[in-house]
Amino acid sequence: MDSTRRQSEAPEPIAQWELADEPVARKAPAPRREREPYLLPGEIATEVRRVFLGTALQRDRAVENLTKAAEAYDRHRYEEALRLAKSVADLVPGVAAVRELAGLAAYRAERWNLAKAHLTAH
């Protein structure tokens, strides 16, 4: 062992410790930032609702899934974006924006054949 290094000093004995009158204040955790809701462009949501054949609840769920897919894509979660966009693309295959999002998400997820299928259909 190198003699120039300092050896750690032993802590003070417990008998010499002082009790604090007040408990030590802990820092409060940082407040969570509320995310602003992600908004899909109105014309895309309108087109999905117009083309989709189903109940109003199913239409709203399709738009909600497409919104989540776009948000996941923006957050670089391409597999999740692909899963959500593909489910909407199966329901409304004629909406170009849905096929484009599914194709781009598949491309980023390195699912080349699926990306090609969605982008050529778009």
Residue 113's pLDDT band (cuts 50, 70, 90): very high
- Residue 86's nearest CA partner among 65, 71, 55, 58 is 65
Tokens of 20: 């604090």
Q: Which pLDDT tens digit goes with each residue over 45-96?
A: 999 999 998 899 999 999 999 999 999 999 999 999 999 999 999 999 999 9
CATH code of 40-121, in short, is: 1.25.40
Q: Which amino acid is at 73?
A: Y
pTM: 0.69
Q: Break the chain into its structural domains and give their ranges.
A: 40-121
